[in-house]
Amino acid sequence: MKVIVDNKIPYIQEAIEKIADEVIYAPGKAFTPELVKDADALIVRTRTCCNRQLLEGSHVRFIATATIGFDHIDVEYCRQAGICWTNAPGCNSASVAQYVQSSLLLLQKLKGMELSKLTLGVIGVGNVGSKVVKVAQALGMRVLQNDLPRAEQEGSAAYHSLRTLAEECDILTFHVPLHREGKFKTFHLADEAFFQSLKKRPVLINTSRGEVVKTEALLEALEKGVVTEAIIDVWENEPDINPTLLQRAFLATPHIAGYSADGKANATRMSLDALCRFFHVDAKYHIEPPAPPVTHLRASSQAEAFLQMYDPRRDSNALKQHPELFEKLRGDYPLRREALAFQVEIE
C-alpha cells in the first residue's frame, strides 16, 4: 500500500508507517497528479482539492480527510471514479467549542457584555454547534438554535428561523457546512439581506467556512454599526484574507479554532481507522497529544481558568501583526489542550 499524507497532519508518522508499505509526505497544496498517480490512498486536509484534475488516471481508491468539512472533495467525481472517501465528523468539535467559549469570555471581560443577560444564536447545530449550545447555557445565556436540515427531520419545535435569530440575538455564531447550491445552501448565508434583517447590533462569530459570510457585506455592516464586533477564524480566499476585516475584527485567527492537540489527535485517529477498515488492515497504533495528561493551574475564577487554558488573543495578535504568515501560523500551530487536560484550583 502506498499512501500520500499531508505533512502537517500531526501524530501520524509513526502510526501510518506501521500500516502502509510506502508513505510520502507533502504539503497540502503540493499534491499533484504526478505525485498521486500511483498511490493507493491519500490522507489530506482542506488545502488539497481532491477532484478530477488531481485524481483522473490515478490508482487512488481511498481518500481520508482529517477534517470535519469535506467541501474540498469532489464527491460526485469520486462516486463516478469509484473512489471511496471519509471525513472526521466531530473530531474537533470540543476544540471549536473551547474557542467560542473563550471568545465569549473575552467579550465579557473586555467589552463589558454580561453574558447571562444575552441571547446567543447558534446557526448549525451538528457536532460542533450542539457543544456550543451547552457551553453557552453553562454561561447562563439564553440560546436559540437554527438548523434547517435537523428541523426538517426532527420537527421545528426546538429550532427557530434565521429571521427570528436575526431579530432576537445579541451574538450569532455560525457552525454550518459549506453548501454552494441546493436546498440547504449556506454559501453567503450571511449576505446583505441577512445583515439588513438584524435588529440588535449583534456580535458575529464565524468558525465554519469563510464563504458562509460574505466579506463585503460584513464589512459594510461593521461600518454602519449593524454588527458591533466580528470574531473571524475562517475567511474567504484563504490564505489571501481581507486586510480590512482582519484589522477590524475583535478577534481574527488563521483557521485554527479546531486546532487543539486533542482535536488533531482525534482527526488523525479517525482517518487511520478508516484507512485500516477500507484496506482490511489490522494495525495496532496509539495516538495521543505529546503533553502531560494533566496540567495544574490556579485562577481567581472559572472564567479566568478557561482563558488560561486557551486565550485566542495570542493567535489573533500573531495574525494581525503578520497576515502574510497565515499558512505558517496555521501549519506550525503551538500545542493547545482542552479542558480535560487541566486540573484547576480556584483561589
For the domain made up of 2-87, give the CATH fold.
Rossmann fold (3.40.50)
Dihedral sign (CA 149, 236, 7, 21): positive
Residue 54 has pLDDT above 90, yes or no: yes
Query: Which residues, in sequence order, are bridge partners of residue 24?
Result: 4
**Domain with residues 93-252, CATH architecture:** 3-Layer(aba) Sandwich (3.40)
Q: What are 153-168's pLDDT values in tens digits?
A: 999 999 999 999 999 9
Q: What is the pLDDT of residue 263?
A: 94
Tell me the percentage of the chain whose pLDDT exceeds 70. 99
Query: What is the reported pLDDT for 7?
Result: 95
Catalytic residue among 47, 72, 209, 330: 209
Domain residue spans of the chain:
2-87, 93-252, 295-346
255 is annotated as an active-site residue? yes
Q: What is the pLDDT of residue 279?
A: 97
Same fold, 2-87 and 93-252: yes
On whether the pTM is more than 0.75, the answer is: yes
Evaluate whether 10 touches 261 at the Cβ level (below 8 Å). yes
Check residue 209 and give its pLDDT: 96
Q: How far apart (Å, rounded) are the C-alpha atoms in residues 32 and 145? A: 41
Percent of the chain predicted with pLDDT > 90: 95
Among the listed residues 255, 330, 336, 337, the single catalytic one is 255
The whole-angstrom separation of Cα 304 and Cα 203 is 21
| Cα 183 to Cα 8, 30, 110, 149, distances in angstroms | 35, 34, 40, 9
State yes or no: is 188 an active-site residue: no
